[in-house]
């Protein structure tokens, strides 16, 4: 029994000494050392933030990984399209006339490269706009204003209000026409690149070659609006179309005297087949040698410059004598679009509603 009491006392002393060396949380004058727990604590990956994107349809999309949307980059100035030089193409002579007016609106379309030459008078601008929409025109790579005649340029402001235009051509001659100068100001305000074109300028667009036949160089320019109108020889592979706008006898003779090849399968009859622009058309036909002629404008056979020699019945007869096989007139039967389709070798011409 005595031995047991001694053992108990020794055990009690051992416990006292052992726990006396342990800090059980009481105050202390010493600071605990900072411990590195990076090796002892499991590493936790940061939770990916939820990315919220509000689309144009107000749909919400969540993602675990960030979605990076690049900032919108401004499209550089100039003509843009998807090249397809071997594609078929079409040319549309859109009816823009009425009983008292003659005008032009000509669309050249190849793939997504679209050229609009004039846009008719202001009174028929909506008709041009509707036709372009029907033909699937989304933007206009090149817009050409042939001259300061309101029957040709009056619809252009409406086109500028409804379409992106990537380049604008004009002759550079306004003849002080306030509404035409206002149009040019509208083009500049939209920061559309502008070219003042003249004879011998040549440009390539998606396989088309646009060779400027008129107006002449500035030192040889004419004194009237019509003779300084832009005329173009449009070529694609073996196909050629001559677009004459309102050039009169003076400009035609200057072209005939130049040492250039004017031969084209199809020719637009100058000044809508009327007036002084066709009084001497025989000589132009000898140089161009077309098989098809296009007359565009309004149904009236009278203009301020019409005369007996230059009226349409006389012009039709001259065309026939000089070997023109077919004449298409977009003002017949209340007005229809004349459409030329070609693959660069063969072509067809027809009326479309």
pLDDT tens digits along 216-261: 999 999 999 999 999 999 999 999 999 999 999 999 999 999 999 9
In angstroms, rounded to a whole number, what is the distance separating the alpha carbons of residues 264 and 59?
56
In angstroms, rounded to a whole number, what is the distance separating the alpha carbons of residues 137 and 149?
25
Q: Which among 153, 139, 92, 134 is positioned nearest to 349, based on CA atoms?
A: 92
* pLDDT above 70: residue 84: yes
In angstroms, rounded to a whole number, what is the distance separating the alpha carbons of residues 348 and 346?
7
In angstroms, rounded to a whole number, what is the distance separating the alpha carbons of residues 112 and 83?
8
Helix (H) or strand (E) holding 90: strand 89-93
- pTM attached to this predicted model: 0.78
pLDDT tens digits along 311-336: 899 999 999 999 999 999 999 999 99
Q: Which among 185, 173, 277 is positioned nearest to 217, based on CA atoms?
A: 173
In angstroms, rounded to a whole number, what is the distance separating the alpha carbons of residues 215 and 202?
13
- Answer whether CATH 3.40.630.190 is correct for domain 89-352: no
**Angle at CA of residue 349, ends 344 and 350, nearest 5°:** 145
pLDDT tens digits along 3-54: 445 455 545 544 444 444 444 444 344 334 444 444 445 555 545 444 333 3
- Return the domain boundaries, the chain: 89-352
* pLDDT above 90: residue 2: no
User: 207 in the Ramachandran plot: left (φ > 0), alpha (ψ -120 to 50) or beta?
Assistant: left
pLDDT of res. 161: 97
| DSSP annotation of 31 | P
Residues belonging to the chain? 353
| For range 294-322, the mean pLDDT | 84
DSSP-assigned states of every residue in 186-202: HHHHTT--EEE--TT-E
The β-bridge partners of 203 are 210
Contacts of 206 (CB under 8 A, 6+ apart): 81, 83, 84, 85, 87, 110, 111, 113
């Amino acid at each position: 029994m005595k031995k047991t009491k001694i053992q108990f006392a020794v055990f009690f002393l051992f416990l006292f000494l052992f726990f006396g060396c342990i800090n059980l949380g009481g105050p202390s004058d010493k600071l605990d050392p900072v411990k590195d727990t990076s090796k002892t604590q499991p590493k936790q990956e940061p939770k990916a933030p939820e990315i919220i994107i509000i689309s144009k349809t107000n749909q919400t999309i969540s993602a675990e990984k960030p979605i990076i949307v690049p900032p919108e980059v401004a499209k550089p100035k100039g003509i843009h399209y998807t090249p397809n030089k071997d594609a078929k193409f079409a040319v549309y002579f859109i009816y823009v006339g009425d009983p008292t007016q003659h005008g032009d609106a000509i669309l050249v379309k190849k793939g997504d490269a679209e050229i609009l030459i004039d846009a008719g008078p202001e009174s028929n601008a909506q008709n041009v706009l509707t036709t372009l929409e029907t033909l699937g025109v989304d933007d206009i790579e090149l817009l050409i204003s042939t001259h300061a005649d309101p029957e040709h340029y009056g619809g252009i402001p409406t086109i500028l209000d409804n379409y992106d235009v990537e380049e604008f051509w004009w002759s550079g001659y306004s003849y002080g026409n306030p509404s035409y100068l206002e149009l040019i100001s509208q083009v500049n305000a939209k920061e559309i690149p502008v070219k003042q074109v003249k004879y011998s300028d040549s440009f390539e667009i998606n396989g088309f070659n646009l060779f400027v036949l008129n107006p002449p160089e500035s030192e040889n320019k004419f004194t009237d609006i019509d003779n300084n109108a832009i005329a173009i020889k449009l070529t694609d592979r073996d196909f050629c179309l001559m677009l004459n706008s309102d050039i009169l006898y003076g400009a035609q003779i200057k072209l005939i005297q130049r040492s250039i090849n004017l031969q084209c399968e199809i020719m637009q009859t100058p000044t809508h087949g009327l007036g002084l622009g066709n009084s001497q058309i025989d000589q132009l036909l000898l140089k161009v040698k077309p098989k098809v002629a296009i007359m565009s404008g309004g149904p009236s056979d009278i203009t301020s410059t019409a005369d007996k020699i230059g009226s349409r019945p006389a012009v039709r007869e001259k065309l026939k004598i000089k070997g023109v096989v077919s004449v298409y007139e977009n003002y017949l039967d209340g007005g229809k679009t004349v459409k030329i389709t070609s693959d660069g070798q063969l072509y067809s011409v027809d009326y479309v509603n």
